[in-house]
Structure 1
Amino acid sequence: MTEKTPLTTPTRRYLPMWSHVKGKRSAVTCALKCNNACLEPDANCSDNHYFKDIVEAAISRRSALGLAGAAVVVGAAASNAPSAQALPIQAQGKALGHAKKAQSSFSFNPIAPVPADVDDLTVPEGFEWAPIIRWGDPLFKNSPQFDIDHQTAEAQALQFGYNNDYLTIIPNPNNPKRGVLVCNHEYVNENLMFSEKDWAADKGELRRVAMAAQGLSVVELKRKAVGSPWEYIVGGKRNRRITTSTPFSITGPARGSKLLKTAADPTGSVVLGTNNNCSGGLTPWGTVLSGEENFDSYFVGKDTAEFKRYTIKNKPSVHGWEDVEPRWNANNPGYENESNRFGYIVELDPEDPTAPPRKHTALGRFKHEGANIHVDPKTGEVAAYMGDDTRFEYMYKFVARDRYIEGNRKHNMRLLENGSLYVARFTGDSPAAEIDGSGKLPSDGAFDGTGQWIQLTDGNKSLVPGMSIDEVLVYTRIAADKMNPTKMDRPEDVEPSPFTGKIYAALTNNTDRGTVKDGKQLESATEPNPRNNNRDGHIIEITEDRNRVSSKTFTWDLLLVCGDPAVNEATYFAGFDPTEVSPISCPDNVAFDSQGNLWISTDGQPGTIQFNDGLFRVGLEGAERGHVEQFLAVPQDAETCGPVIHDQENMVYVAVQHPGEDGSFEEPRSYFPDYANSSVGSRPSAVAKAHGTVAQPRPSVVQVYLTKNK
């Protein structure tokens, strides 16, 4: 690897808080992605009972463990959707029942951790990587070629968006050399996208470019053979861009509510656009779910409890969209409710580019990381698991009113429109005094216990005292506060295993736990969140009682308490020897391979363990349980997103988000993915020039494959 090109400290045009150092991310990412949430008072100021007040009522997990088998699902996707065999393994198990482990020759030698100042994408020996598609690449036959010096909103709406996050790649069932890619575009970094000169000349148009760069992309793919690299198809019949201007249909009990009506939409039934789409999931019926997360960053709010609970401030927004369209400012008459129309789970049909995407109010409104579906194999009952990605927020489950019907795609596509919403309460089985905030294991040798799903809604009926059904679904955080759930350390991706039905949730971190902030003592360590000043995060494993997705009780344990065991004794790897694991911090997204292993992508390691973020495989069974092995590392300042594991094809995919985040257009800190005009990186400039690149970092979807399959 060649030495990184020296770069000076870049200019900051928009970010008055850029120099802070707190938590896990760069200051620029904090400002643009989550509106400096780590510097603000915690949004959850509810007086829920502390966990230690509940622990005395714990039911011993030992007496509750009579569980055998695993929750699995029934049926296959309908004929007009991808077949189960064509879906990623995460959806295969959910569509076919108890998934069987496949034959797979996939193996790799774990890479060493990569220092945080390395601008390269590092993969194991014997593997290569290449981008499938990058920010600005044209999607349609009438799309202009990307020209970073002459950007327009019209052009960006026809090109691949910025900061790709959730990712799925679905090979066609009858021709595995063709497929489709679906990807979220979470947020933008104007400092990297536009020059100072262009911004000064027309920042209004460039803000419209930024608005067009968010949303989702659907892109058709082709390849020479299974296991060989994909190319995307310009003008593919399913190609589509979803932006902040795309009409969305509102579904569920809150549709038509006065809380969702605006001057532009007096019916409260149609929303223009989606933003800050983070993670998501692929359903057994072949649609894609996408979570609207830090939507508060785009709005100017009012000084009310409702706006404050969602951290929407009565001051200019980070991105300044209120200067372009009045709907982004709640103080403009007729748009008081516009922000109430964001913060939902979005469903998109990648097979039909004409079908309006939908926002499902029945799944609640909060900062959704994503949603993942599981179907009960015995009953066909459908559940969606979700996390609210903020410190001291909650985990949720939605159980559909109607049941999954094999082959009936029209019916299944309406399953998320009506049902029951639950919020989680966790109880530990260890003495409260043994959970001292250090991360030291209690005397029983595990962080574990039992839990309850507390019901908030029953179809069109609210079960929260003093709140109507539409109030519960629009102000879900406030509703949950009233029901005494457990405050968690930033619950992000929550996903069931297709092999066992156990649910795995990434709890990224919470540096405020156990601290005093703004004169208030914040909640200290609890057994499901066992460390104060939790910088490294952990992974929780949940087993539904009787392995039924509709169960209202569960058991849980911590699979990982993350960190670098070489420097931090407060780590745990399910009992695996900590000297034999790859260090890992700030888990974000999870996925599964065909062997039942868990894969974890990270977001924030440079700020915690001083290594670039990466993708890690973790064994879940037997002697390999808790064995963490690093597969890849992303470039400087980047986050690893959207892992897709097709190990039967020896293929792994990630979305590389915000490479070189701390740089500027004039002084980039990364040249990923093409490394043009640079001595940095593993891809030669000749390859970069052949792709018509520019010497700027471009968020990209990357494929990793065996060298011999090139």
Structure 2
Amino acid sequence: MTITPERPLLPMADSPAVSPCSTRRSALTCRYRCGDACAHDAPNTSDNVTFAEVVQSALSRRGLLRAGTVLGVAGLGTSALASPAAAAGLSTGVAPGPFGLKYTPVQPNTADMVTVPPGYSQQVVIRWGDPLFADSPAFDPANQTAAAQQRQFGFNCDHLDILEVERGVHVLVVNHEYTSETLMYPGYSSADPTREQVETSWAAHGLTVVAVSDTRGSGALTPIVGHPLNRRLHTSSEFELTGPVAGHPLVRTSADPDGTTVLGTLNNCAGGITPWGTWLTAEENFNQYFANANSVTDPTVRARLARYGFPGGTTERQWERFDSRFDLAQEPNEANRFGWIVEVDPFDPTATPKKRTALGRFKHEAATAQLTRDRRVALYMGDDERFDYLYKFVTRDTFSKGPTRAAKAANADLLDHGTLYVARFSGNSPANEIDGSGRLPADGRFDGSGEWIPLVSGTESFVPGMDATEVLLFTRQAADLMGATKMDRPEDVEPSPQTGKVYVALTNNSNRGAAGQAAADEANPRAVNRHGHVLELTESSNDAGATTFGWNLLLVCGDPADPSTYFGGYPKTDVSPISCPDNIAFDPRGNLWISTDGNALGSNDGLFGVAVEGSDRGRVTQFLTVPVGAETCGPVIQRERVMVCVQHPGERNGASYENRASFWPDGNGALPRPSVVAVWQTNGRPIGT
């Protein structure tokens, strides 16, 4: 196994008119969200052990899955689609199904609104620019300032969670993944942004903690402006590096010679809540903010930068013009201070957030927890890039339950000590049955076994040629060397609170089998995987601390009329089409909910409920769709309320502040504003009953 020592760094993005993705995501979204990652070769050029080389002989033959006519979904909606799935399908009445998923499925559509099932109400809880503090200025889209944005709800909300403060009062924790400057500012010039625009974007990134109150008799929530817990953390806020990498020479800069204090958190995506009540949020496409990687001449450093996809020249937003820390030629270590899992205490507005370096550095998506049998904490994380990996971290020490000061102190640094693993998958079908078409193998399922490969534990490295801090700083290369399985963009990862099974959203990847790229395998069975899939992982002895597991694919997504799709064996006459799973969550009854990003079937993105157990296993039904150009993020499914973040509404090719593709949520020609939305049954009954 080797790592290519040097490969070309990424050129500056040139804003293609057509999305480089294999989905319906607009080129504008690709440009601002991830720096056109899919327009470039995947950074993983390693020739590590491939899945095919470890595939096992078939262990069983279960017979073919139940046959079913492949049709699509119909229901409520306003806009027709040129999609085979929209023509016919599910009953327009309340479909039979498991408790919690009894609602009339929403029809795929392209309406500029949030569309929900009949009998449900909705509310915009909080929008970009809404006030958080008593002194927050009113939102003035034509005259934005950094000072104002630091006191307002940020842009492009993504991860969302809700925690109870007291009866009737909760805190929402929300991150703000990225900014879309051409949609935000009047007269914006990508070639010549102003300092005020750049500093306002710095303030629009980051995190929000905001208190909300219940509304009696409905699922509506009201932000409590000026509540003591309200907080904005942005690109000028202080974050503390903790764990093994803190203070290392490679995280020291001229502004921080100690290597322990970082300003800001960037491109935050999915996250989770710890058993002790803190909030974890993931730094994802941080590479796109740092310029001039071509200035680096050391071949080892160049290889490290290339593996994370750093641009060779200027960046899209040109922050480097206004702060030298974003220029690798001047501050080569600043980028090493991003790409971490961040822990925030939402109940202590004075606490400095922590970047937990023991969890490794990569393009993190998700950090979700469950307890091991001996009460240690296991965290699951995806690395959201084509051909990158799935990870798990298990703490060294055990979780201390209870509200006491001693318990809080014991949990305060749990995430600084433990073992970081990466996943390797094996299939149980002969290799010749996995041909890249998505056709099921003879046993009727994509499934197999796997192992968690240890990379590092404390100061001990398990990776030949890399010490412990190198493994944590350059985790991708460490995983390359250890033969991890290359996956199709592993995004959100969620363990079921009921069963302990772990679910992984793999969004898409159309490049399998291309020159120099890994071929399809049983865990990633389609060479042209435009629609993604959902993997179900069962750890040995049902223990989150185990180092081996079984797995199967719950869903192979797409139009049910496509023979390469699979819905857990459920008849495809009775499922909604679903494309590009991204964020996932569980409701109180154990049903899985999936939000989508980049729906490649012609519909707006949406939220879907999926049964994972019993006779309805694999039954997918659409619950809502979001407006034009938006994606659905951060679902929270409570007994009587569903919440989602509506991210980047109106982000369509050719759109700008002056030329708007969406007017949601305010209508009447207004500027589109990313927002948090709540949905509930109008009659007050629990969701899906």
TM-score (norm 1): 0.86
1:643 equivalent in alignment to 2:635: yes
Q: Which runs of 5+ in 2 are unaligned?
A: 1-12, 63-97, 295-301
1:119 equivalent in alignment to 2:112: yes
1:287 equivalent in alignment to 2:278: yes
Q: Give the Cα–Cα distance (whole angstroms) in 1 for the partners of residues 453 and 421 of structure 2.
A: 5
Task: After TM superposition, give the deviation of residue 224 of structure 1 in Å.
Answer: 2.8
Give the 3-state SS of the residue equivalent to 1:465 in structure 2. Answer: coil
Alignment map for 1:168-567 (pairs within 5 Å): 168-172=161-165, 174-175=166-167, 177-196=168-187, 203-225=194-216, 227-303=218-294, 304-332=302-330, 335-376=331-372, 378-407=373-402, 408-516=407-515, 521-566=516-561
Q: In structure 2, what is the equivalent of residue 670 of structure 1?
A: 662
Structure 1 residues 583 and 705 mapped into 2: Cα distance closer, same or farther (>3 Å)?
same
Deviations 1:418-444 (A, max 9, x none): 100000000000000000000000001
Q: Give the Cα–Cα distance (whole angstroms) in 1 for the partners of residues 53 and 106 of structure 2.
A: 44
Q: Which runs of 5+ in 1 are unaligned?
A: 1-13, 64-102, 679-694
Q: In structure 2, what is the equivalent of residue 38 of structure 1?
A: 38
Q: Give the Cα–Cα distance (whole angstroms) in 2 for the partners of residues 311 and 669 of structure 1.
A: 30
Alignment map for 1:610-625 (pairs within 5 Å): 610-625=602-617
Give the 3-state SS of the residue equivalent to 1:339 in structure 2. Answer: helix
Structure 1 residues 105 and 26 mapped into 2: Cα distance closer, same or farther (>3 Å)?
closer
Task: After TM superposition, give the deviation of residue 393 of structure 1 in Å.
Answer: 0.1
Q: In structure 1, what is the equivalent of residue 674 of structure 2?
A: 699
Q: In structure 2, what is the equivalent of residue 151 of structure 1?
A: 144
**Aligned AA for 2:309?**
T
Structure 1 residues 23 and 197 mapped into 2: Cα distance closer, same or farther (>3 Å)?
closer
1:590 equivalent in alignment to 2:584: yes
Structure 1 residues 105 and 339 mapped into 2: Cα distance closer, same or farther (>3 Å)?
closer
Deviations 1:237-282 (A, max 9, x none): 1000010111111111111111111111111111110010001001
Residues 19 and 30 in structure 2, CA contact (< 8 A), matched pair in contact too: no
Task: After TM superposition, give the deviation of residue 413 of structure 1 in Å.
Answer: 2.7
1:656 equivalent in alignment to 2:646: yes
Structure 1 residues 453 and 316 mapped into 2: Cα distance closer, same or farther (>3 Å)?
same
Task: After TM superposition, give the deviation of residue 339 of structure 1 in Å.
Answer: 0.3
**Aligned AA for 2:108?**
P
Deviations 1:340-367 (A, max 9, x none): 0000000000000110000000000000
Q: In structure 1, what is the equivalent of residue 4 of structure 2?
A: none
Task: After TM superposition, give the deviation of residue 123 of structure 1 in Å.
Answer: 0.3
Residues 105 and 623 in structure 2, CA contact (< 8 A), matched pair in contact too: yes
1:165 equivalent in alignment to 2:158: yes
Deviations 1:600-627 (A, max 9, x none): 000011xx11111000000011111000
Q: Give the Cα–Cα distance (whole angstroms) in 2 for the partners of residues 272 and 33 of structure 1.
A: 20
Residues 61 and 448 in structure 1, CA contact (< 8 A), matched pair in contact too: no
Q: In structure 2, what is the equivalent of residue 80 of structure 1?
A: none
Q: Give the Cα–Cα distance (whole angstroms) in 2 for the partners of residues 660 and 616 of structure 1.
A: 22
Q: 2:132 aligns with which of 135, 139, 142?
A: 139
**Aligned AA for 1:379?**
D
Q: Give the Cα–Cα distance (whole angstroms) in 1 for the partners of residues 60 and 255 of structure 2.
A: 53
**Aligned AA for 2:326?**
W
**Aligned AA for 1:150?**
N
Deviations 1:572-595 (A, max 9, x none): 001000121000000001100111
Residues 61 and 443 in structure 2, CA contact (< 8 A), matched pair in contact too: no
Task: After TM superposition, give the deviation of residue 202 of structure 1 in Å.
Answer: 6.5
Give the 3-state SS of the residue equivalent to 1:206 in structure 2. Answer: helix
Q: Give the Cα–Cα distance (whole angstroms) in 1 for the partners of residues 437 and 100 of structure 2.
A: 41
Structure 1 residues 105 and 45 mapped into 2: Cα distance closer, same or farther (>3 Å)?
closer
Alignment map for 1:573-612 (pairs within 5 Å): 573-605=567-599, 608-612=600-604
Structure 1 residues 569 and 375 mapped into 2: Cα distance closer, same or farther (>3 Å)?
same
Task: After TM superposition, give the deviation of residue 121 of structure 1 in Å.
Answer: 1.0
**Aligned AA for 1:658?**
H
Structure 1 residues 704 and 311 mapped into 2: Cα distance closer, same or farther (>3 Å)?
same
Give the 3-state SS of the residue equivalent to 1:371 in structure 2. Answer: strand
Task: After TM superposition, give the deviation of residue 170 of structure 1 in Å.
Answer: 1.9
Q: In structure 1, what is the equivalent of residue 94 of structure 2?
A: none
Deviations 1:33-86 (A, max 9, x none): 111111101100000122111114x684899xxxxxxxxxxxxxxxxxxxxxxx
TM-score (norm 2): 0.88
Give the 3-state SS of the residue equivalent to 1:129 in structure 2. Answer: strand
**Aligned AA for 2:547?**
K
Q: Give the Cα–Cα distance (whole angstroms) in 1 for the partners of residues 207 and 194 of structure 2.
A: 23
**Aligned AA for 1:282?**
I
Task: After TM superposition, give the deviation of residue 409 of structure 1 in Å.
Answer: 2.0
Residues 399 and 550 in structure 1, CA contact (< 8 A), matched pair in contact too: yes
Give the 3-state SS of the residue equivalent to 1:167 in structure 2. Answer: strand
Structure 1 residues 442 and 197 mapped into 2: Cα distance closer, same or farther (>3 Å)?
closer
Q: Give the Cα–Cα distance (whole angstroms) in 2 for the partners of residues 197 and 529 of structure 1.
A: 41
Q: Give the Cα–Cα distance (whole angstroms) in 1 for the partners of residues 100 and 338 of structure 2.
A: 44
Q: Once the two structures are aligned, what percentage of the paired residues are identical?
A: 52
1:571 equivalent in alignment to 2:565: yes
**Aligned AA for 2:381?**
M
1:49 equivalent in alignment to 2:49: yes
Q: Give the Cα–Cα distance (whole angstroms) in 1 for the partners of residues 276 and 675 of structure 2.
A: 27
Name whichever of 16-25 and 400-409 sits farther off.
16-25
**Aligned AA for 1:119?**
D
Q: 1:130 aligns with which of 119, 123, 126?
A: 123
Q: Give the Cα–Cα distance (whole angstroms) in 1 for the partners of residues 247 and 360 of structure 2.
A: 15
Structure 1 residues 106 and 477 mapped into 2: Cα distance closer, same or farther (>3 Å)?
closer
Structure 1 residues 371 and 105 mapped into 2: Cα distance closer, same or farther (>3 Å)?
closer
**Aligned AA for 1:315?**
G
Task: After TM superposition, give the deviation of residue 708 of structure 1 in Å.
Answer: 3.6
Task: After TM superposition, give the deviation of residue 547 of structure 1 in Å.
Answer: 1.2
Task: After TM superposition, give the deviation of residue 18 of structure 1 in Å.
Answer: 3.3
Structure 1 residues 239 and 401 mapped into 2: Cα distance closer, same or farther (>3 Å)?
same
Residues 61 and 555 in structure 1, CA contact (< 8 A), matched pair in contact too: no
**Aligned AA for 1:547?**
N
Give the 3-state SS of the residue equivalent to 1:248 in structure 2. Answer: strand
Structure 1 residues 331 and 480 mapped into 2: Cα distance closer, same or farther (>3 Å)?
same
Q: CA RMSD in A?
A: 1.8
Deviations 1:123-143 (A, max 9, x none): 000112111000001111111
Q: Give the Cα–Cα distance (whole angstroms) in 2 for the partners of residues 113 and 312 of structure 1.
A: 37
Q: Give the Cα–Cα distance (whole angstroms) in 1 for the partners of residues 664 and 192 of structure 2.
A: 27
Structure 1 residues 55 and 123 mapped into 2: Cα distance closer, same or farther (>3 Å)?
same
Task: After TM superposition, give the deviation of residue 20 of structure 1 in Å.
Answer: 4.0
Q: In structure 2, what is the equivalent of residue 631 of structure 1?
A: 623
Residues 285 and 409 in structure 1, CA contact (< 8 A), matched pair in contact too: yes
Residues 591 and 610 in structure 2, CA contact (< 8 A), matched pair in contact too: yes
Residues 399 and 411 in structure 2, CA contact (< 8 A), matched pair in contact too: yes
Alignment map for 1:51-66 (pairs within 5 Å): 51-56=51-56, 60=59
Residues 242 and 355 in structure 2, CA contact (< 8 A), matched pair in contact too: yes
Q: In structure 2, what is the equivalent of residue 76 of structure 1?
A: none
Structure 1 residues 439 and 551 mapped into 2: Cα distance closer, same or farther (>3 Å)?
same
Deviations 1:617-645 (A, max 9, x none): 00011111000010000011100000000
